[in-house]
Amino acid sequence: MRVTDNATARMVLATLQQQQERVYTLQQQVSSGMRINAPSDDPVSAQQALDMKVLIAANDQYSRNIATGNTWLAQMDSSLSDMNNVMVRARELATQMANGIYDASARQSAANEIQGLKDQLISLGNSQIGGKYIFGGFVSDQPPFITTDGVPSPGDVAGDFKGTDDPIKIQVDQQSFVAINYSGGKLIRGDGTSGTTDIVDTLDKLITALNSNDTNNVRSSIVKINSSIQQIQAAQGDVGARENRLEKAGDVLTGTRDYLTKALSGKQDADFIQVLSDLAKQQTAYQATLASTAMFSKISLLDYMR
């Protein structure tokens, strides 16, 4: 093939531009650390990488939800524990006062202490975290229990439950929800079915019995107090089980996140060793082209003509 000067010049120019383009692409990969800097670099992998990012973001959100749940359940655990202690003290007193040794005035003071314990129980029922009442179901911005010194509406009695029994659920994974609250009403007031105890009512009856020096009723309240304690401990068990569930969900999320991050990295990260070695090769090729161009452009028939 006959080669003209223009053809040579054009070829050199095209080669140099091609090499510069390759160098540019490689440098872009080095500086961003990614193999994919635009969807057109690898459209299929790009789409897959983006889908994975969506999953990772959702995963992070579920972790945040679990953190909120943990805080609630921890507070609940602590409140339930305190309630347990309250009822244990109530049982102590009741057991004592059931004994014939004590007289009416002793029982009076006991009644006062029980009253105080009842107030404590109710205020534990109004436990908050971050300004939210955790035992009120969906009523979370106002205290769910009427307190003794609260201003009641007509017909309100101290210890009345004004909240709901609804579970507050958080999402810990796709299709997976955990309730992070416990209904105060069911806990302290019972739900009216046999097998649940109205703890407030029990305490009320104990106070009445103590005030009226009614030893028999004091004695019979001990049974109810025992079942109250069991009720509270059952709630504690439930809360503990849910804390476990959250922990396991958190572990699953961590595992999934690790896997997703690794897969994402495989899809979109640049292999630095490969890229840097390609860059070195390209730069060498570019230099070689420049050198050979300079060499050939110096030679011409004109040099040899007289």
Partner 1 sequence: MSVSDVFSIGVSALYAHKLALEVTSENISNVNTPGYSKQTAILESALPNQDSRFPVGSGVRVATIRRVHDDFLQKQLVSSSSSAGNYDIQQTAMQRVEQLFNEFSAAGLGTDLTSFFNAWQDLANNPSGQAERQAVLAQGDTLVSDFQRMNNNLNQVKSDANQSLQGLTSDVNDKLKTLAVLNDQIQQLEFQGGNANELRDSRDKLIQDLSEKVAVTYTNEPDGTVTVSLPQGATLVTKNQAGSFSLEADPGNSGFFKVMLTDPGGSVVSDVTQALKIADGNQGEIGATLQVRDSLVDGFISGLDELAYKLAEQVNSVHGSGYSLSGATGIDFFSPPIVLTPPATPTAGYSRSIAMNITNINDIAAAFTNPTAGGTTGDNRNALNIAALATKSNSMSTGNSTFSGYYNSLVGKSGVAAQVAERGATQSSAGIKQLRDMRDSASGVSLDEELANLIAYQKSYEGAAKLINVGTDMLDTVLSLVR
- Chain positions contacting partner 1, by CB under 8 A: 1-7, 10-11, 14, 34, 36-44, 46-47, 50-51, 53-54, 57-58, 61, 64-65, 68, 130, 132, 136-142, 162, 164, 166, 168-171, 174, 177, 268, 300-302, 305
- What contacts 291, CB < 8 A, 6 or more positions away? none
CB of 94 to partner 1, least distance (A): 35
CB of 177 to partner 1, least distance (A): 7
Nearer to partner 1, 37 or 220 (CB): 37
Residue with tokens 């050198």: 291
CB of 23 to partner 1, least distance (A): 17
Amino acid at 22: R
Q: Running DSSP on this structure, what letter comes out for residue 97?
A: H
Q: Which residues pair with 269 in a beta bridge?
A: 34
CB of 115 to partner 1, least distance (A): 27
d(CA 150, CA 147): 5
Residue with tokens 């009427």: 146
Backbone φ and ψ of 133, nearest 5°: -80, 120
Nearer to partner 1, 40 or 193 (CB): 40
Neighbours of 248 (CB within 10 A): 11
Helix 43-98 and helix 104-125: axis angle, to 10°? 170
Nearer to partner 1, 59 or 228 (CB): 59
d(CA 188, CA 197): 8
Residue with tokens 């347990």: 84
CB of 237 to partner 1, least distance (A): 24
Nearer to partner 1, 137 or 159 (CB): 137
CB of 13 to partner 1, least distance (A): 10
Q: What's the token pair of residue 291?
A: 């050198």
Nearer to partner 1, 47 or 109 (CB): 47
CB of 6 to partner 1, least distance (A): 6
DSSP SS3 for 155: coil
Nearer to partner 1, 204 or 243 (CB): 243
- 79 closest CA partner among 242, 239, 245: 239
Nearer to partner 1, 3 or 101 (CB): 3
